[in-house]
Amino acid sequence: MTAQRREELRGATRLVVKVGSSSISGENAARIETIVDALAGAHSRGTEVVLVSSGAIATALPLLSLDGRPNDLATQQAAAAVGQNVLMWRYQTSLDRYGLLAGQVLLTAGDLDNPTHRSNARRAMERLLGLRILPIVNENDTVATHEIRFGDNDRLAALVARLIGADALVLLSDIECLYTRPPDEHGAEAIPHVAWGDDLAGYEFGSVVVNSVGTGGAATKVSAARLAAAGGVGVLVTSAERVVDALEGGEIGTWFEPDPDGAARALTGPVRTVHEDAASIH
């Protein structure tokens, strides 16, 4: 049943959790343990969880002796191939503490546009969940140049949440909540709740931010949250540091209320709508 309020996350039947590159790479690589602790806790309560994890390229940087995110596509693709392997190993090693098994699912946005591929992806993830396996989804960076450019895993997480009929989506990043303008600017105010249908045009979420390890920014989180909410999926945006509180329904982050009529359309309607309100997100 779709979560209408953040406190319902603790009792959710099915969740999608997305974590960004900077939250689990470099000096933050140890945070994988905390994230797995939270996922295992939800799993023990009977919640089915799908993890959408960025971080393949960022994980490979020190292994390939690269100082920062490569600029050329071929090196990005090579780094993704190396990093994805190591990233999955890190997750599985941590999951071993709980006797849990992960299953890798690599997708492109194009896969979810194609009816046959979309059906296959849904069936595979449903079977993994039925076997009590944690699907770990990432963009297939070696072939999908779109994600390598910017912010696609927020969109991918929203599409996956709609695809499998999740009760809620949790977008984890470096900030605890969204603000009315960049939080380092004077007058920025925290946004605890976004009701369905709220007009966000007056807020300044900033352009896409690209750092040395990852891509994305507040604007991509908002766009992805609205995409998921339009499909009847409630969305919580908060920091990776608060993942335990998030999955236990704590009063944290920014909650996007789902469209009460959206769930019926989520599995059957078109999903290529990530830019549907891009004009109103700055």
**What are φ and ψ of residue 237, in 5° steps?**
-110, 120
**What are φ and ψ of residue 103, in 5° steps?**
-130, 125
| 96 carries a ligand binding annotation | no
H/E run at residue 48:
strand 48-53
| 111 carries a ligand binding annotation | no
Specify whether the CB–CB gap between 55 and 25 falls below 8 A: yes
Cα–Cα distance measured from residue 43 to residue 170, given in angstroms and rounded to the nearest whole number: 15
Q: Is 150 exposed, middle or buried (0-12, 13-18, 19+ CB in 10 A)?
A: middle
Secondary structure of the chain: what % helix, strand, coil (to 5)?
45, 15, 40
Dihedral angle computed from the Cα positions of residues 134, 136, 137 and 138, in that order, rounded to the nearest 10 degrees: 180
Measured CA distances, 212 to 27, 58, 143, 178 (Å)? 13, 8, 21, 22
Question: Two tokens at 40?
Answer: 């295992």
Cα–Cα distance measured from residue 53 to residue 137, given in angstroms and rounded to the nearest whole number: 6
Measure CA of the first residue to CA of the last residue in the chain; give whole Å: 32
| 141 carries a ligand binding annotation | yes
Q: Which amino acid is at 117?
A: H
| 174 carries a ligand binding annotation | yes
| 167 carries a ligand binding annotation | no
Question: Two tokens at 62?
Answer: 């020190």
| 113 carries a ligand binding annotation | no
Cα–Cα distance measured from residue 11 to residue 29, given in angstroms and rounded to the nearest whole number: 28
Please state the residue numbers annotated as binding site: 18, 54, 141, 153, 173-174
Instruction: Please enumerate, by residue number, every residue annotated as part of a binding site for substrate.
Output: 54, 141, 153
Q: Residues within the annotated binding site for ATP?
A: 18, 173-174
